[in-house]
Amino acid sequence: MSWMQREIGLSPRPRGFHLITREVVEAMPELGAIRVGLLHLLIQHTSASLALNENASPDVRRDFEAWSDAAVPERARYWTHTVEGPDDMPAHVKAALFGPSLMLPVSDGRLALGTWQGIYLCEHRDRGGSRSLVATLWGEPS
């Protein structure tokens, strides 16, 4: 049994959905030594989230942003928490909808994802700045 925990710093991204699979895997070289286990990722913020979805077409990520903006609209009449700008409260709701964490199985030293699955950083603020992940890896060594 082996445990590893590390903070992964993500550089600022524009508002939208961004593929970060490679960045996460490269930050976790210890993955290679796990026969069977799990990798947990938590984003330590309340206006950005993590998702697992289609890793090929940039259209898909653009449409995620378009749907999010339609479903959680800025300047809706029911918002009262508006002091941090019109993008702030919608960002909180989007962050909770997509969720703050991912749990990914590890198999023979690699993430056991489907062919088309990639890790998304979902940046819901106009200027969210750097984002921080806590990565926790544990499992049975090879």
Which spans of this chain sit near a second copy (rule: CB under 8 A)?
A: 1, 3-5, 36-38, 40, 42-46, 51-54, 57, 59-60, 62-64, 66-67, 70-72, 76, 78-81, 89, 92-93, 95-105, 107, 112-117, 120, 132, 134, 136, 139-140
Residue 75's φ and ψ, nearest 5 degrees, are: 60, 25
Nearer to a second copy, 107 or 127 (CB): 107
In the complex, the smallest distance separating the C-beta of residue 48 from a second copy, rounded to whole angstroms, is 10
In the complex, the smallest distance separating the C-beta of residue 136 from a second copy, rounded to whole angstroms, is 5
DSSP state of 22: H
74, 83, 138 from 51: Cα distances, Å: 22, 28, 21
Nearer to a second copy, 26 or 46 (CB): 46
Task: Count Cα neighbours of 142 within 13 Å in the Cβ-side half-sphere.
Answer: 11
In the complex, the smallest distance separating the C-beta of residue 18 from a second copy, rounded to whole angstroms, is 14
Neighbours of 117 (CB within 10 A): 15
